[in-house]
């Protein structure tokens, strides 16, 4: 893996870069759609690549449950299994396990939970998560970390970042893969000092890149940005940073200004499933009666398969209302393309030192928009 910084904001940490991974080059900042179960929902990989996607995120938790990492490994690894030849980042599954809070039990060893598929008990340890991800064979793997609920008391968060650090060391010791890089994860809740401490200690372990976890989980937006800045200031500036699970278009512009290089977010595909069409003018509800005879495409500024082939809002509204999978696919591809186009504009704006102007183009989006 090689990471080169290409352009840097005159004022601030925001930068564009080139991340060279085993399966190709990623221009950063980049958006990574979720392919948690080895598919960007409803979308063939060729169409996802044509929509400008450079890298996707798969999930060790989901793929361990079904079909099992051994099945994927025996079928030639995740890239071959899902017919995606560009880079893949795999997440540890920690966030998914911890979001089933009523059913998990955390010990120093790992986290125990019941499989939602067949109810059997699974102990997910840092070593098992690394083992699953090595078998899947993604370009970037993430160590198991403890995701604190929000809100969480400072004492609890402090103990949890210490545990996450011990798990990070165990993950590093278990990780042996020539073509895959293991990133470290920074936690620390909304507490800037804990964020800085977690970032410094994680960096000292020598990871080639970092994830920042536990943000955009219910805290206020200003708290998120303060915590992010504290973490970024304590991380080495020459390593790539992935802000996990963030966010809305405005979040992405503001966090890219802070130097974040990689974003993953379910909003484009989740919105598509609920008929939310993302545009430069905000979210358009395809089911709304006003689109019944609307022959316009979703957006004049979009070149996704739905817009490029001239599918009308009236037709897409019809497909959505009859729950036709073609409608889901076209809306998903449109929203994914909106995000890759957004990141193209973020990269151009950083190079031109004009992020403020790009932010103004998103004035229809409010800071509270979540879906």
Q: Which residues are catalytic?
A: 91, 264
Q: Count other C-beta atoms under 10 Å from residue 118's C-beta.
A: 8
H helix runs in the chain, sequence order: 45-50, 60-65, 69-74, 78-82, 94-99, 126-136, 154-174, 192-204, 221-234, 249-256, 267-273, 305-308, 313-321, 325-351, 355-361
Cβ proximity of 284 and 298 under 8 Å? yes
The Cα 358–Cα 33 span in angstroms is: 22
> Which stretch in 132-140, 215-223, 276-284, 302-310 sits in contact with Zn ion by CB under 5 A?
302-310
Which of 128, 246, 286, 304 binds Zn ion (CB under 5 A)? It is: 304
- Give min distance, CB of 43 to Zn ion, in A: 13
For Zn ion, what does the binding mask look like between residues 351 and 370, x meaning CB under 5 A? Answer: --------------------
Stretch that binds Zn ion, among 17-25, 62-70, 294-302, 361-369 (CB under 5 A): 294-302
Contact, 109 vs 126, CB < 8 A? Answer: no
CA dist 237 and 15 (Å) reads: 10
Min separation Cβ 285 and Zn ion, Å: 16
Compare residues 308 and 348 and give the one whose CB is closer to Zn ion. Answer: 308
55-94 residues in contact with Zn ion (CB under 5 A) are none
HSE-up (13 A, CA, CB side) for residue 326: 9
* Smaller CB separation from Zn ion, 135 or 340: 340
CB of 300 vs Zn ion, minimal distance in Å: 10
Residue among 55, 61, 54, 69 nearest 36 (CA): 61
Cβ closer to Zn ion: 78 or 331?
331
Q: Note whether 313 binds Zn ion by CB under 5 A.
A: no
Strands 241-243, 262-264: pairing kind: parallel
Q: Which of 9, 32, 302, 319 touches Zn ion by CB under 5 A?
A: 302
Which CB sits closer to Zn ion, 210 or 280? 280
Nearer CB in complex with Zn ion: 155/309: 309
Q: Which of 79, 229, 334, 345 binds Zn ion (CB under 5 A)?
A: 334
Residue selected from 231, 256, 307, 343 as contacting Zn ion according to rule CB under 5 A: 307
The Cβ of residue 321 has, within 10 Å, a number of other Cβ atoms equal to 13
For binding to Zn ion (CB under 5 A), which residues are involved?
298, 302, 304, 306-307, 334
């Amino acid at each position: 893996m090689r990471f080169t910084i290409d352009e840097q904001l005159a004022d601030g940490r925001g930068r564009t870069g080139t991340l060279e991974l085993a399966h190709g080059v990623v221009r950063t900042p980049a958006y990574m759609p979720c392919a948690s179960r080895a598919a960007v929902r409803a979308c063939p990989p060729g169409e996802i690549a044509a929509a400008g996607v450079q890298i996707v995120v798969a999930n060790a938790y989901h793929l361990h449950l079904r079909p099992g990492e051994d099945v994927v490994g025996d079928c030639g690894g995740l890239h071959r299994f899902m017919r995606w030849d560009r880079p893949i980042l795999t997440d540890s599954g920690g966030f998914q396990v911890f979001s089933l809070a009523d059913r998990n039990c955390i010990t120093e060893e790992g986290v125990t939970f019941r499989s939602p598929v067949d109810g059997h008990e699974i102990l997910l340890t840092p070593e098992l998560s690394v083992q699953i991800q090595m078998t899947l064979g993604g370009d970037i793997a993430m160590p198991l970390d403890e995701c604190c609920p929000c809100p969480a008391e400072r004492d609890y968060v402090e103990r949890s970042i210490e545990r996450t650090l011990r798990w990070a060391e165990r993950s590093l010791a278990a990780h042996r893969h020539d073509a895959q890089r293991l990133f470290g994860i920074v936690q620390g809740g909304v507490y800037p000092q804990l964020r800085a401490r977690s970032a410094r200690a994680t960096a000292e372990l020598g990871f080639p890149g970092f994830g920042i976890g536990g943000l955009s989980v219910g805290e206020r937006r200003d708290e998120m940005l303060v915590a992010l800045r504290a973490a970024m200031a304590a991380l080495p500036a020459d390593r790539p940073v992935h802000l996990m699970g963030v966010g809305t278009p405005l979040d992405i512009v503001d966090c890219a200004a802070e130097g974040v290089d990689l974003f993953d977010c379910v909003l484009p595909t989740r919105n598509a499933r609920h008929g939310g069409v993302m545009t430069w003018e905000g979210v358009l509800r395809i089911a709304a009666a006003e689109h019944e005879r609307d022959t316009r495409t979703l957006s004049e500024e979009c070149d996704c398969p739905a817009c490029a082939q001239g599918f009308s809002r009236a037709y897409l509204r019809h497909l959505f209302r009859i729950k036709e999978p073609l409608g889901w696919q076209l809306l998903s591809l449109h929203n994914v393309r909106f995000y890759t186009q957004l990141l193209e504009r973020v990269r151009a704006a950083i190079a031109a030192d004009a992020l403020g102007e790009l932010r103004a183009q998103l004035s229809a989006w409010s800071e509270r928009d979540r879906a």
